[in-house]
Amino acid sequence: MIEEPLQRHFTLRAPAFERSAGWISDPGLLQAITSAVRLPPSARLLDVCCGTGIVGAAFRELVGRVEGLDLTEAMLAIARKHLDAVHRGSAHQMPFAAGAFDAVVSRQAWHLLEDPALAVREMARVLAPGGHLIYAHAVPYGAADEAWMRQVFLARQPLATGFLLESDLRHLLSKAGLERVCVTEHLLWESIDRWLDVPDLSQPTQEQIRACYRNIPAETAAVHPIEFSTSGSIRDQWRWVVISATKPRGDAP
Q: How far apart are CB 131 and ligand SAM at their closest, in Å?
A: 19
Instruction: Determine if residue 49 is left, alpha or beta; phi over 0 gives left, psi from -120 to 50 gives alpha, anything else beta.
Output: left
Nearest to 75 by CA among 132, 136, 20: 20
Q: Does the protein bind ligand SAM through residue 169 (CB under 6 A)?
A: no
Q: Does the protein bind ligand SAM through residue 10 (CB under 6 A)?
A: yes
Which of 55, 134, 169, 242 is close enough to bind ligand SAM by CB under 6 A?
A: 55
Site for ligand SAM in 16-35 (CB under 6 A): 24
Residue with smaller CB distance to ligand SAM, 137 or 224: 137
Whole-number Å distance between alpha carbons of 60 and 46: 11
Q: Does the protein bind ligand SAM through residue 220 (CB under 6 A)?
A: no
Contact 244, 182 (CB under 8 A): yes
Q: How far apart are CB 105 and ligand SAM at their closest, in Å?
A: 9
9, 182, 200, 212 from 114: Cα distances, Å: 16, 25, 21, 27
Q: How far apart are CB 6 and ligand SAM at their closest, in Å?
A: 5
The interface mask with ligand SAM, positions 108-127, x = CB under 6 A, is: xx--xx--------------
Site size toward ligand SAM (CB under 6 A) is 21
Q: Does the protein bind ligand SAM through residue 133 (CB under 6 A)?
A: no
Q: How far apart are CB 144 and ligand SAM at their closest, in Å?
A: 26
Q: In b/e form, how buried is each residue of 136-167, taking b as 16+ CB within 10 angstroms?
A: bbbbbbeebbbebbbebbebbbeebeebbbbe
Q: Which residues pair with 103 in a beta bridge?
A: 45, 132
| Beta-carbon contacts of residue 115 (< 8 Å; ≥ 6 apart) | 92
Whole-number Å distance between alpha carbons of 197 and 115: 28
Choices 43-51, 167-175, 180-188, 202-210; region in contact with ligand SAM by CB under 6 A: 43-51
Q: Does the protein bind ligand SAM through residue 49 (CB under 6 A)?
A: yes
Hey, is 120 helix, strand or coil?
A: helix
Residues lying near ligand SAM in the complex (CB under 6 A) are found at 3, 6, 10, 24, 49-51, 54-55, 70-72, 75, 90-92, 107-109, 112-113
